[in-house]
Every structure is written in C-alpha cells, then in structure tokens.
Structure 1
Amino acid sequence: MAKLTPVKPGDIIELDVHGLGHTGEGVGRYQGLAIFVPGALPDERVRAVISQVKKSYARGKLIEVVTRTTDRILPRCPAAADCGGCQLQHLDYQAQLTHKTTLVKSALTRIGGLNDVPVRPTIGMEYPWHYRNKIHLHATQSAGRIKLGFFAEGTHQLTADISEQSCLLVNQEIIEVVAAVEELLNSFKIKSYDWESKQGLLRHVMIRRGYATGEIMVVLVTTAENWLTEQELAREIVNRHPRVVSVIRNINTNPGRLILGPQNQVLAGKDSITDRLCGLKFKISAASFYQVNPRQTEVLYNKALEFANLKGDETVVDAYCGIGTIASLLARHAGSVIGLEIVPDAVTDARENARLNNLFNIEFFNGSVERLLPEMVARGLRPDLVVLDPPRKGCEKEVLEAILKTQVPRVVYVSCDPATLARDLGILAGAGYEPAEVQPVDMFPWTCHVECVVWLKRKHSP
C-alpha cells in the first residue's frame, strides 16, 4: 500500500465537508487528517489551500465550493467573511439552529460522557437581526480622520466603518449614535490610539442601550493622556442624541486587547442606564455584565425559572449573579436568595436593583464564587436550589465541590459554552446529579455561539 504524502502549507486539496467545528468552520478529513476550512459547510465538496499544519489537524482557506449544499445562503453583510463577528451568515438560519442543537449534544457525549440527556431543539428568533443592545468599536486613524468599526479577525486593521456600513446584528438606534459620535470625534480632532507606537488618546467606543427604556450609554475608552475637551465633547453627544443619558470616560492603560480599564469618569448625565426585563427594572453600569440580546434573554431566564420549580419558601443561591437579573426573577418566587459576584460595581448595581424592584429577600455578597460558596457551606448553608451562570471558562472545582457538600436537591446551570458546560455536568453527574433536561437558546444568531439552560436533580431527592 502506497504511503500517503502528508499535506503541507500551500497544498491545494479537494475536501468533503461532514460537519462544523465549535467556531463555525467546516470540518472534513483528508488523508486521515482533520481539516478545518472557514466558510465551508456540511455536505459540500470544496477546494482549499492549506494554510497551517499541526500534528493532529490542519487549517485551510476556501478557494471554491465544488458541490454546494442547499443550506448555503448569500451573507447579507459584505464584511461577514472578514470581521469574524458572524461566522455563520452563509448558513440558512433554521440550519444554524439544527447545528447548534447538534453541537450541544456532541459536547455532552464527547466531553461529559453523557449519552442519554434530553436536549431540546434550540429556540431561535422570529427576526434574528438587529438584536444586540451593546457594541464595542475600535478607533483608528484613516486619511487624517477617526473611524469607528471592527478590526479584521486577529489584526489591528479596520474591516468595516460602522458609520458607513451598518452592522446587521446591532440595534439600529445604536448605529445612529455611532455615526454622530464619529462625526463629533473628528470635529474635536481627537487622535486615535496607535497599537504600534502606543501613542494617541482614543482606543475604543462602547455603546449600550436599554431595550425597553431606550436609554443609551456612550463609553469613550482612552489612555490616561490629559484631555481638555472631554466634557465639551460629552455635552455635544448628549445634545446631538437626546436618548444618550450617560457619557463616560473609561481609562485603560493595559497594552493588551482588554476593552475596559478599571477607572470610569462620568462626563455627562448619569453613571448608568436602566432597562426592564421580565417585568423588572435594572440599573446597568459601564462595566456590569448584561445579556446583549434582550428578547432571547427573557426566553432564557423564563426557562431557568421554569426549571427552578420554586414553591415559594426555598433558599436559593445565585452564583455569578452579575447585576442580579436572575436573582431578582427568582426572588419573586422564593423565600430568600443569596447572590454571589466578583465584580464590585455589579454588586452595587445588584443591591440597587433589588431596591428598585422592592425585593427585600435578596442579599448580595462581593467576592469570587470559588471562595464565598465554600465558606458559606462550611458555616452551614444548605440551599434548596443553586443557580450557576459562570463565565465561558465554567465553574472552578471549588464551586462544584461545595455544591456536592450541600447535597442541594436541584441545580440550574446557565452556560454560554457547551464544552465547559459538558465538562461540569459530567463531574456533577459522576457525583450523583442527573442532568434532566437541556434547553439551548439562540442568543447570538449568525454566530457559532449558543447558550444553554439545564436542570439537574440529585439522585434520591424528592
């Protein structure tokens, strides 16, 4: 039998694509090697040029679709292939939902060792466009003018000027504010930050909008350089767009890609905006986490409430509670709620949100969940329900161990990453907690991301 010649960068191959990777690229096998090709879709045959070869896989760049799937569509956005924000704009929306359900099932089996967990079809959106209530934009200089937009993936090169080419995922009123802010930045002759020389003032602009209230916050992320016209510019932004109720300068001296720094200065208006979600009112500060798709957030949170199955007298722990959104929703149906959160500003907002909603059965604690929860359990905390909504990296082992010590009868887990969700569910299942139902929710249409909510029941619990 002839020995196969290994692929090398520059080789052009034809490949049958059989699936999608977790970041949305097509996956096939060539001479026994997994090949990842962004832009390729399952059931297609493609030509690709090999760009990178590793020990167990290679990456290729799509040259031509030889055989096309009926699920392929033309992306609405001309920058979709370059900016990296919409990995799946070339895939029919219903096919995306099917893919995301399959992705969750595969992760549970492959990573968690869980083969029989019911995974419901992913809940999609009737209109999956203009859903984002927040946007981060990079500032760059072009022909003597500031431009606000997205960098091409892995670069500091602008791929789309948002004032000229509207992002189809972002709320349209936010796009209007972007155009006004860009115009004013140029009229004030503000210099953008240069990533090579490390010189300049403006690094990013972040804009967030209350879905129900329409209140808008503009955050100007800058270096620590002295800025004499900051308040005058802020007043002009408010005058130009009356829905802007908060203009904040955030100072970030970190040399990396971290968007926000630790210091905020209110230049005009308030230090926060407000929004309403699931019949509750929430205060949102610049650094606080708040879901970016409000319509689907209500779907997700109501499903979490359903899975909680509260009767009215339970003690609930909401770990990674953020500004208290889920905690506040649960508090209307439980005896008491304890919220744990590491970000100080988020805890301040959470306490204010409880007061705004006349919820007096919630207590919030500031600190890492991996420290606070074990300490509380050691002091005798025995909740009836634990809700987990960790960051993408999932739960630390100290958190899972503390849950096991409580012998809590029910756990509800909200996750933005199927891989870390599967890992943690596998650990809990091995210790006696049975995942009863998984509900994926499409919080991020046209991207490869999917959110899930799961409930687990401790064996032998009523």
Structure 2
Amino acid sequence: MPYRDQVLAKDEACRALVGSQSVWLPPVTGPESGFRNKAKMVVGGSTEQPTLGILDPTGGGVDLRDCGLHSPGLVAALPALAEFISTAGLVPYDVPSRRGELKHLLVTESPDAELMVRFVMRSTEALARIRKHLPSLLTRLPVRVASVNVQPEHKAVLEGAREILLTDQEALPMRLGVVDELTLWLRPASFFQTNTEVAARLYATARNWVDEELGERPAELWDLYCGVGGFGLHCASGTRRLVGVEASVEAVRSAEASRDQAGLGGEFVAGDAVAFARARTAAPDLVIVNPPRRGIGPELAGWLESSGVPRVLYSSCHAETLAADLASMPSLRPMRAQLMDMFPQTRHYEVLVLLSRV
C-alpha cells in the first residue's frame, strides 16, 4: 500500500474510534523507511552461522539483517554483531529443543550514531567470553553501552530482570533537539519510542499544547506512566511543579539523569500510577498519561473523571483502548487530537489527544 494511503487509512480509523467532535490536526509523519532506532532480533541458526531476525513456525531462524525499517546505522552494525556471536562462541537458543544460550540481540542507535547493545542470555555461562572479545567489537562499532541481560525462562518474554553492564557508560544519550537540545538518557532496561524523528515531534506538540493551556502561571503537572520522562521534561518549566510516576525503577533513574543533565526541576517516583493518584488529596492542573497498549483502564479513568482535574493530555498507541478510556471519562472531552505515524508500514500508530473538563 502506498505510504500516503497508509496514513490516510490510519487517520480515518483513529477519528472513527476517538470521535470527530475534537479539532483534528493533520497527521505527523516521518520517513517511511530507515526510521527505526531499535532492532529487537531473535537469534537463531548456529554459532557459526547465526540468524538475526524472527523465528519461522517450526522455530527456525529467519534472518532480517537487511530489514528496510531499521536505520542505516543498525543495518550496518548487525553483520559485525553476527560475527561477534561467532567469535565469542555464543550458542543461539533453540526454542524447540530448549537448548542454547543467546536468545535476543537488542540494539539501539542514538541520533548521534552511538549504539547500545544488549545480549539477552539464558544464563551467565558465556559472560567471560563476551567480556574477553568485547574490546575488539568496540574498535569496530561505536558502542557506548553494552550489557548482558539474563532471561532464564522458556517463554515469550523479551528480557529478564537482571542486567549486567559491560561498559563504563551506563546510558545512551538520545538527543532530541526539541527544547534547548534536551537529551533523554536511556538506560538498558528503559523504554524509548522507536522512531526518533516522530517522537521528537510528539514531544514538541505536547509541549506546545501544554504551554497554551497553562501559560506562565504556576501549575502542578503529573506525568503518569512517564517512562524516561520524555513528556514531563519537555513540558516542565520554572513555574510548574512536575511529578512523574513510572513502575520501572530503571526508567525512573533515566528520567532523573535526564532532568539533572538538563538542569530542570521535577520529581520522579517509582510506583503504580493508580495508587499514586488515589493517595493525593488534590488534583493537579494537568495530567499527562502515556500508558501501554492496554490503556489506563477503568480505575485510573474513574479517578480522573471524579478528581476534578481540568485537563488531561493522553498519548495512546492503541486507539481502541483509548476509546474505551474516553467512554469512562465523559466529563473530559477531546478538544484537540493528532495522529503521529510512529510505525510506518504497520497498522500501528500513536495518537495525542488533549482533554478538557466540560
């Protein structure tokens, strides 16, 4: 399907789900190929001839090193990483037989062409060999952060809870250049949008909408499901008190590092968004929510509906759950909405909606 038709279809589907009563702005798009800053590759094949990509129905590896979605830097790095697997003697995990060690290779590229490389292993059996051969890899590729993630369970989980850093640097700087060259410092277990250009425009739009709503007056701002702090830090200012809440401790550490490097204020809390909101006696001036695909759910939607909060900025990657959440908040009406085509060549997208209490 031509890219223009893809975007049109997504926009129409999103408007039908969210509703046409709000002001819909033209969709935001970026490159239709070579945009993806993260490669999440299943490792298959053999140590001598590893495949990096996905698995076929029988559990065999399908190589996708030349995938057109990945950035040119990732495409160039993957062959060298495949050679490293062979040199370090890493045995790909075989799903049917449940044998082997290396499950996934996760590679992220920053806007400055630096890399974060994570080896997801079943155990630490190969850790010494990875450490031994890592210096030669660092001479070939601009790797800033490297780590081993341990995921011992036989199930469809991308990564485990244990992360072993192999480099002195602990975070990859994602320089967005939206507000005073704001940089988000991405730690290995932290989430960041896979389309850097559209993510930067998403944050810029959020900042502009919040500035128009709150002006220069003092205000309190909550960023729930804040991740590494992208929304909150872009919308923070000297007159606003920012509180970010995120379940991932590593993401909170990333947000705090980004805040400190930028010289901004704000507090970031590791915890549950619903529990945080319920524990507060007064609502803020504006709440930002950027939940996973399941949406904010009836508990948080119910709290927002009854809280009296005057404005909500909702960033959703799944318009169906967004529509369900909006139905649970009838007093908060969509005033502005915009499709952000974060995922070209797929049916997925991000949508930003500004809600105002009526």
Partner of 2:188: 286
Alpha-carbon shift at residue 155 of structure 1 (Å): 5.8
Partner of 1:419: 320
Structure 2 counterparts to residues 410-449 of structure 1, below 5 A? 410-428=311-329, 430=330, 432-449=331-348
Match of 1:178 among 78, 92, 105: 78
Q: Is the 8 A contact 1:285 1:349 kept in 2?
A: yes
- The percentage of counterpart residues that share the same residue type is 26
Match of 2:302 among 401, 421, 443: 401
Partner of 2:9: 99
Name the one with the larger helix percent. Answer: 2
Q: Is the 8 A contact 1:101 1:119 kept in 2?
A: no
Q: Is the 8 A contact 2:29 2:340 kept in 1?
A: yes
SS of match in other structure, 2:28: coil
Partner of 2:55: 151
Provide the rounded CA distance (Å) in 2 between the counterparts of 1:181 and 1:268: 16
Alpha-carbon shift at residue 143 of structure 1 (Å): 8.9
Q: Is the 8 A contact 1:322 1:343 kept in 2?
A: yes
TM-score, normalisation: structure 1: 0.73
Aligned-CA RMSD value: 1.7
Provide the rounded CA distance (Å) in 2 between the counterparts of 1:254 and 1:134: 23
Provide the rounded CA distance (Å) in 1 between the counterparts of 2:333 and 2:140: 55
Letter in 1 for 2:316: S
Provide the rounded CA distance (Å) in 2 between the counterparts of 1:134 and 1:93: 21
Provide the rounded CA distance (Å) in 1 between the counterparts of 2:251 and 2:191: 7
Provide the rounded CA distance (Å) in 2 between the counterparts of 1:323 and 1:161: 29
Alpha-carbon shift at residue 118 of structure 1 (Å): 3.6
SS of match in other structure, 2:26: coil
Provide the rounded CA distance (Å) in 2 between the counterparts of 1:189 and 1:317: 48
Partner of 2:159: 260
Q: 1:276 to 1:311 in 2, by over 3 A?
A: same
Q: 1:159 to 1:226 in 2, by over 3 A?
A: closer
Partner of 1:456: 355
Partner of 1:295: 197
Letter in 2 for 1:284: L
Q: 1:143 to 1:399 in 2, by over 3 A?
A: closer
Letter in 2 for 1:222: M
Provide the rounded CA distance (Å) in 1 between the counterparts of 2:198 and 2:161: 30
Write out per-residue CA displacement over residues 396-453 of structure 1, whole angstroms, 9 at most, x where no aligned residue: 222122222331111110000110111111221x2x1111121111111111101100
Provide the rounded CA distance (Å) in 2 between the counterparts of 1:223 and 1:180: 22
Count of residue correspondences: 351
Letter in 1 for 2:290: D
2:178 is equivalent to residue 270 of structure 1: no
Q: 1:187 to 1:318 in 2, by over 3 A?
A: same
TM-score, normalisation: structure 2: 0.93
SS of match in other structure, 2:282: coil
Letter in 2 for 1:239: T
Match of 2:135 among 216, 235, 241: 235
Q: 1:131 to 1:161 in 2, by over 3 A?
A: closer
Q: 1:257 to 1:158 in 2, by over 3 A?
A: same
SS of match in other structure, 1:246: strand
Gaps of 5+ in 1: 1-90, 109-113
Q: Is the 8 A contact 2:21 2:334 kept in 1?
A: no
Provide the rounded CA distance (Å) in 2 between the counterparts of 1:267 and 1:322: 24
Letter in 2 for 1:160: D
Alpha-carbon shift at residue 233 of structure 1 (Å): 2.4
Letter in 2 for 1:266: L
Letter in 2 for 1:273: L
Provide the rounded CA distance (Å) in 2 between the counterparts of 1:292 and 1:381: 35
Q: Is the 8 A contact 1:434 1:456 kept in 2?
A: yes
Write out per-residue CA displacement over residues 21-55 of structure 1, whole angstroms, 9 at most, x where no aligned residue: xxxxxxxxxxxxxxxxxxxxxxxxxxxxxxxxxxx
Provide the rounded CA distance (Å) in 1 between the counterparts of 2:129 and 2:12: 53
Alpha-carbon shift at residue 205 of structure 1 (Å): 0.3
Q: Is the 8 A contact 1:220 1:248 kept in 2?
A: yes
- Higher CA-based Rg: 1
Provide the rounded CA distance (Å) in 1 between the counterparts of 2:238 and 2:79: 43
